[in-house]
Amino acid sequence: MGSEIVVKRRIWPKKKRWRLLLVSGIVIFILLVSSTLAGYLFVKKSLPVIEGEILVEGVTEQVEVYRDKNGVPHILANNNNDLYFAQGYVTAQDRLFQMDLSRRQASGQLAEVIGASLVGQDKYYRTLGLRRAAEISYDEYSEEAKEVLQSYADGVNAFIMEAKEADKLPVEFALAGYEPTEWSPIDSLTIGKYMAYDLGGHYKGQAFRYYMAQHFSDEKVLELFPTYPEGGATVLQALRENGIDISKSIANAPFPNEFNGSNNWVVSGSKTESGLPILADDPHLGLATPSIWYETHLQNPEVNVSGVIFAGVPGVILGRNEHIAWGVTNVGPDVQDLYIEKRNPENTNQFEYMGRWEDATIVKEPIKVKDGKTIPYEVQITRHGPIISEFTHDEQEESALALRWTALDPSTELEAVLLFNRAKNWNEFKKALTHFQTPAQNFVFAATDGTIAYRANGLIPIRKKGDSSVPVPGWTDEYEWEGFIPWDELPTIVNPEEGFISTANNKIVTDDYPYHITNTWAQPYRQQRIRDVLSSKEVITVEDMLKLQFDQHNLQAEEFVPIFLKKLEKEEGTLREIDKKVMELFTKWDYVDHKDAGQPLVFHKWMTEIANVLFEEDIPEKIDTLFEGKSQIVDQMIRNAVNGDEGIWLSEAGGLQKVTLQSFQRAVDFAVEQQGDKPSKWAWGEYHAVPFKHPLSAIKPLHYLFNFGNPTPMGGSAVTVAAASFNKETGAVTHGAAWRSVTDIADITKTYNVVGPGQSGHVFSRFYHDQIDEWTSGKYHITYTKKEKVKGDSQKLVLKPSN
């Protein structure tokens, strides 16, 4: 027999066991408290200094920075160098990590600090060439603008150096495992080019229709065009003869949100108590932490301007000075064209044009990868632009798609911004607009002399042939651009008799306008609601404007719900009890997308499910993401069916009545799954809520640090003036007016503003999420530009020359 090893278990006396457990618990508690305290102190130490004095190398004279109770920096300097240096320094204090991510994303440099998962995205932005476009634009700027860019960069770099030396970089850098590199003027211009990408385009719609032409009949494809193209069948046949599988490439591109847009309007003094104009602006972009907008007040002997700017760019792009106020919405013109290029089978770097092979320009764009090898990558650029259809794969096909886009040419938007900031009247502002080429924007304007004005401004191509609805042959000169809409002929309105001007990404020209702008406009509901309200009032107050910016009246529902209910009434035998209860709920709806109402929950899901019933079995999910203008097209399909013209998609789905019932029951089932079987207790805001996500909150458990608390319920929707577009999978509100602003020209020294979720990007700053409640409830703070008002109730920081 083998030997046995006997282990004797030591039995502790009961009293000692309790003592041991108590000591162990205390030790664990102390360790937890210590680690939590250490983490807290580690994060807190990077809080920016916003009071006292700082010696800074780079300012020539003392600069005063007053942060008001909403975190808005009021920067008071004696000269331009110090003003923009301080703007760069102060913005970096609040937003350095955001600034660094922005320039890296636009430049295609995220894989270098995040890792291999972002190589595909980096390839796309390297192919697009936003940074290359910024570099060639720099040479077009005036010396004064270059000096502003450099002063701003110097201020950013002064803060970076200071933070590195004191080991006080924002905690995100430590968590991501890297440090920011030096800031340059090109970084600022690259962020500007990214915003042109975020707001300009339609090429994804061309790609969608190109795919559809390869896979569907003429009738099915043409019904999904925003307008019927001239020679439709011929156009489709040409696309079929040059097939490219966009599902492998373009369908994977990180396209901007289709709902990027805005509202703006300006009311003449003829409709106000003071006899002077009131202007309102609320641009719609992505909602996140920190906000895409940074509110700032800049003052020196030459300029006194307040408003917002993108973090990383000098000046104020939207706002007011002592004489004027202005705001923008997106025109959304067709400024991007896909060209089908024929590649030389003998030389893959050559493409056919007018019967000859032309050499493409080859740009080397090696991509650094964190913890990996640098990936060699080359971009081919034809006479029409970069080859965009192959960024996801190495094989080069016989046909490829090149992107022609206005923003890839040199442009000088920052020059315009600096001139806006100093303009005193409409003529000076209009002259500044000559420098604003891309993205094309609807500008509304008001001045202390009583002038109100509107202008759709930017470069909009004139084409020899075609309307930018589909890709066109690149091997011939038939489809070339012949220049741009003449500057003097861009849509312009000054002091209209109606007494107000409004835009909401709607169609801005009549059918007899001689130039093509686009076929894809926003749904008309926001613009119609704005016009209805402004037209209904003889005298309009600031309070009216504030209320209108948060208006949640749903004109789409008001149009379609009565139609749908009549269709459902004809399906009495197939309706369930829960369906009847929901129908009864709809009869009591005031068509307001209130956060506490149940009807919006069903209605918006209903509209989504109508599209799903029509398309989900035929159009692949990846291709569906390219389906630009889907909502407008579905709306029109419904209207046509009501008027007796039931198109092929509705007919094949069983007709409008069957589609209405099927989609309604899907929507009801969804609401039951989400919030139970009592419709009277359903609430839109319980599903439709805004999280203001921080970019690092996607990494668990960092969401507990950067996005503590639950998302905030929000009313409105994509079709209401209070824009709040949402993720249709989760309900999260991800898009809307992060900045809302109203300026009464009668007292132009103050504006009513809100920046969701707040001014600061530092999680421990009291300005981090302090405006969420304001933003989700339609409230505002006032920003002043009078010195005595600025200095009251503010924290003062003085930047002093170090030499």
296 neighbors 75 (Cβ within 8 angstroms): yes
d(CA 112, CA 372): 9
- What pLDDT, on the 0 to 100 scale, is given for residue 708? 86
- What pLDDT, on the 0 to 100 scale, is given for residue 7? 47
Q: What is the mean pLDDT of residues 370-390?
A: 96
d(CA 449, CA 534): 22
445 neighbors 452 (Cβ within 8 angstroms): yes
- Lookup result for tokens 């590649």: 343
Q: Quick one: which of 388, 419, 392 has its CA closest to 402?
A: 388
Q: Quick one: which of 757, 744, 752 has its CA closest to 780?
A: 752
- What pLDDT, on the 0 to 100 scale, is given for residue 697? 87
Tell me the CA distances in angstroms from 635 to 224, 629, 638, one per residue in order: 12, 10, 5
609 neighbors 663 (Cβ within 8 angstroms): yes
Q: What is the mean pLDDT of residues 99-114?
A: 97
In this predicted structure, the answer to whether residue 207 has a pLDDT above a threshold of 80 is yes
State how far Cα 645 lies from the chain centre. Answer: 36
Q: Which residues contact residue 798 at a Cβ distance below 8 angstroms, ignoring those fewer than 6 apart? A: 52, 53, 54, 62, 63, 64, 65
Question: Confidence band (pLDDT; 50, 70, 90) for 3?
Answer: very low
**For residue 368, how many other CB atoms are within 10 A of its CB?**
14
Enter the DSSP assignment of 233: H
342 neighbors 244 (Cβ within 8 angstroms): no
- What pLDDT, on the 0 to 100 scale, is given for residue 13? 66
Is the omega angle on the peptide bond into residue 486 within 30 degrees of 0, that is, cis?
A: no
**For residue 361, how many other CB atoms are within 10 A of its CB?**
11
d(CA 658, CA 70): 53
Q: What is the mean pLDDT of residues 379-405?
A: 93
In this predicted structure, the answer to whether residue 25 has a pLDDT above a threshold of 80 is no
In this predicted structure, the answer to whether residue 349 has a pLDDT above a threshold of 80 is yes
Q: Quick one: which of 88, 76, 130, 75 has its CA closest to 314?
A: 88
Strand ordering across the sheet containing 385-386:
361-364, 378-382, 385-386
**Comparing 244 with 165, which gets the higher pLDDT?**
165
In 376-473, which ranges are E strands?
Answer: 378-382, 385-386, 399-405, 441-447, 452-457, 461-463, 472-473
- What pLDDT, on the 0 to 100 scale, is given for residue 11? 57
Question: Confidence band (pLDDT; 50, 70, 90) for 466?
Answer: confident
What are 298's two structure tokens?
A: 């800049």
In 311-398, which ranges are E strands?
Answer: 318-320, 324-330, 336-344, 347-353, 356-359, 361-364, 378-382, 385-386
User: For every residue of 617-654, which 3-state class applies, written as one string?
Assistant: CCCCHHHHCCCCCHHHHHHHHHHHHHCCCCCHHHHHCC
- Lookup result for tokens 């389906």: 627
Q: What is the mean pLDDT of residues 497-524?
A: 94
d(CA 641, CA 656): 7
pLDDT digits (tens, 9 = 90+) for 593-651: 999 999 999 999 999 999 999 999 999 999 999 999 999 999 999 999 999 999 999 99
Q: What is the mean pLDDT of residues 241-251?
A: 86
Rounded to 5°, angle at Cα 650 from 649 and 656: 170
**Residues 296-311: b if buried by 16+ CB within 10 A, e if exposed:** bbbbbeebbbbbbbbb
d(CA 722, CA 504): 11
pLDDT digits (tens, 9 = 90+) for 493-510: 999 999 999 999 999 999
88 neighbors 187 (Cβ within 8 angstroms): no
In this predicted structure, the answer to whether residue 767 has a pLDDT above a threshold of 90 is yes
d(CA 264, CA 283): 8
In this predicted structure, the answer to whether residue 15 has a pLDDT above a threshold of 70 is no
Of the listed ranges 337-341, 480-484, 698-702, the one predicted with least confidence:
698-702
What are 108's two structure tokens?
A: 């295609």
- What pLDDT, on the 0 to 100 scale, is given for residue 789? 87
No. of H helices and E strands in the chain? Answer: 25, 31
Q: Quick one: which of 717, 714, 722 has its CA closest to 282?
A: 722
Enter the DSSP assignment of 364: E
Q: Quick one: which of 318, 440, 421, 457 has its CA closest to 738?
A: 318
User: In the chain, what percentage of residues exceed pLDDT 70?
Assistant: 94
- What pLDDT, on the 0 to 100 scale, is given for residue 576? 96
Q: Quick one: which of 762, 545, 777, 576 has its CA closest to 661?
A: 576
Considering the chain, what is the average pLDDT of its residues?
A: 93
d(CA 200, CA 436): 13
- Using CB atoms within 10 A of its CB, is residue 184 exposed (0-12), middle (13-18) or buried (19+)? middle
d(CA 125, CA 388): 10
Q: Which residues contact residue 420 at a Cβ distance below 8 angstroms, ignoring those fewer than 6 apart? A: 315, 316, 317, 326, 429, 432
In this predicted structure, the answer to whether residue 238 has a pLDDT above a threshold of 80 is no
In this predicted structure, the answer to whether residue 1 has a pLDDT above a threshold of 50 is no
- What pLDDT, on the 0 to 100 scale, is given for residue 220? 94
**Comparing 18 with 706, which gets the higher pLDDT?**
706
pLDDT digits (tens, 9 = 90+) for 718-735: 999 999 999 998 999 999
Tell me the CA distances in angstroms from 532 to 262, 496, 560, 613, 760, one per residue in order: 17, 17, 18, 33, 37
pTM over 0.85: yes
In this predicted structure, the answer to whether residue 8 has a pLDDT above a threshold of 80 is no
What's the first-to-final CA gap in the chain, in angstroms?
A: 89
- What pLDDT, on the 0 to 100 scale, is given for residue 422? 98
Question: Confidence band (pLDDT; 50, 70, 90) for 402?
Answer: very high
State how far Cα 298 lies from the chain centre. Answer: 25
Question: Confidence band (pLDDT; 50, 70, 90) for 29?
Answer: low
**Comparing 25 with 671, which gets the higher pLDDT?**
671
Question: Confidence band (pLDDT; 50, 70, 90) for 12?
Answer: low
Q: Which residues contact residue 388 at a Cβ distance below 8 angstroms, ignoring those fewer than 6 apart? A: 127, 128, 203, 249, 250, 253, 338, 401, 402, 403
- What pLDDT, on the 0 to 100 scale, is given for residue 5? 47
d(CA 117, CA 131): 21
Q: How many CA atoms lie within 13 A of 451 on its CB side?
A: 19
